[in-house]
Amino acid sequence: MKKVYYSTNTKNLSLDWPLILGRTGDLLPAYRLAKKFIKQDKPITAAEVNEVLAFSNIKISQDMLDKILKRPRLEFSNLNVDTIRSDYFLKNIGTVRGNIQIPGVYIWTHLSTGDKYVGSSSSTFGRRLIGYFKGTHRDIGKLMHLIKDEGIGVFKLEVLPLIESYSINQELSLEQYFLLHSEFNLNTLRVVNNFSGARAKPLYMYTKDLSELIYYSDVQEDFIFKLRIHHTIITRSLKTGTYYLDKYVFTDKPILGVKENNYSIVEINKMLDKDRLEVQNRGRSVFLKAVDGSNTKKFNSISDCVDYLNTIAPSYKTTLYRHIETGIPYHGYICEFANEGTKGIKVSVTHVASNETIIYSSLREAALSFEPKYITTGQTIKAYAESGRLFKDKYKITLK
């Protein structure tokens, strides 16, 4: 097998830094600081970590850093594809979408050279690590090239779970600590760049009855570009609880204990295309509601509705269907299938212990009533109502 050598010379990286990160500005000084600390080759403390991450307002105390570094690590050696099926892995790391969701840091060590790579996760360890074993991560950077060229068996894996005294973004501080050590030269970037809120917007798509997880991604854009689902559909579903294609529902939080499907993107797209065609051919009644509220018209089918819209301007079934999906006005009308959506729904919330019941006029109003103690969404309220489960083990929710 051909041996691949990777240069650790960072002389010209500063020129590519804005392009690599897709950002400019505050990260450039951070990169220069990181490069300086690595070159000094002195013991790294919380002070250096905090100085590099000053632009992000992320900090860690020296006491906490010391405590974390002294904690025992999970170690995986003699790695192969069966490692992710081992009892030790399943017990401590879990599956791609399993019940185990822990924050922490993972370290890959190349056994023959000692070169290292560090990464972190706020909750998706299973998905991150299994992706390396299965080779499903994008083929960029030094680590994935080595894994694909030499195999997973040339590495040792260590995991540092952050369960005790965890605070938000703690894993990023710890990852940055390791990045300031010269042996972590399999990392192309030496400043962490996966900050909460930057791109991390998890999204889940379940079946209507919440019995199966169809697809998950921690980047919502995957649903838009890979599954061709308009962003307004996702936004509206999350806010109001409406169903997609009358079969699926979106959440921004996982529902534990449901069946996990491992469909490929190709399989999901075939399934969605079939569902879209079925919806188009159902012949359901359609409502046209004037944007100014002046009138509402009902039609017995998509064809009848298109015939009417053609009297206003050239209209097409596919275009009408897209406007029904997105809620965007078409020729001055909001277009909806009859009996679809959540308008007119009233929500009954009963505190089980006291048997006190309050009626809300919408899913969103019910969701907002739980804040600030419980941050939730209308879609989540709807999911609990349909599943019959108690919200926060305290509240019975029903739809009227």
- Judge whether residue 74 has pLDDT over 80: yes
pLDDT tens-digit readout, 283-297: 567 888 888 878 888
Question: Residue 25: its pLDDT value, please?
Answer: 39
CB count in 10 Å sphere of residue 345 = 18
Question: Residue 36: its pLDDT value, please?
Answer: 93
Alpha carbons 154 and 110: distance in angstroms, whole number: 6
- Judge whether residue 107 has pLDDT over 80: yes
Query: In whole angstroms, how large is the CA radius of gyration of the chain?
Result: 26
pLDDT tens-digit readout, 285-344: 788 888 887 888 888 778 888 889 999 998 888 788 778 777 788 999 988 876 544 445
8 A C-beta contact, residue 122 and residue 103: yes
- Judge whether residue 11 has pLDDT over 60: no
Share of the chain above pLDDT 90, in %: 26
Confidence band of 70 (pLDDT split at 50, 70, 90): very high
- Please measure the distance between the N-terminal and C-terminal CA atoms of the chain and give it in whole angstroms: 67
Share of the chain above pLDDT 70, in %: 82
Q: Which residue has the higher pLDDT, 48 or 339?
A: 48
Mean pLDDT of the chain: 80
- Residues 6 or more apart whose CB falls under 8 angstroms from that of 400 comprise 345, 346, 347, 348, 359
Question: Residue 100: its pLDDT value, please?
Answer: 61
Q: Which residue has the higher pLDDT, 371 or 261?
A: 261
Q: Which residues pair with 365 in a beta bridge?
A: none
Q: Which residue has the higher pLDDT, 355 or 23?
A: 355
Mean of pLDDT values over 245-258: 82
Question: Residue 375: its pLDDT value, please?
Answer: 63
CB count in 10 Å sphere of residue 217 = 16
Question: Residue 372: its pLDDT value, please?
Answer: 63
Lowest pLDDT segment from 8-22, 77-91, 379-393: 8-22
- Judge whether residue 124 has pLDDT over 90: no
pLDDT tens-digit readout, 161-207: 888 778 878 999 999 999 999 999 999 888 887 554 334 567 889 99
Q: Which residue has the higher pLDDT, 125 or 58?
A: 58
Question: Residue 367: its pLDDT value, please?
Answer: 77
For residue 245, which of 278, 197, 212 has the smallest C-alpha distance? 278
Question: Residue 3: its pLDDT value, please?
Answer: 37
pLDDT tens-digit readout, 212-236: 889 888 677 778 778 888 777 888 7
Alpha carbons 151 and 105: distance in angstroms, whole number: 22
Question: Residue 105: its pLDDT value, please?
Answer: 94
Q: Where are the domains of the chain?
A: 13-179, 203-280, 286-337, 347-399
Confidence band of 398 (pLDDT split at 50, 70, 90): confident
Q: Tell me the C-alpha to C-alpha distance, in Å, between residue 366 and each of 204, 232, 345, 360, 398.
A: 22, 22, 11, 6, 11
Q: How would you classify the pairing of strands 155-161 and 104-110?
A: antiparallel
- Judge whether residue 95 has pLDDT over 50: yes
CB count in 10 Å sphere of residue 177 = 22
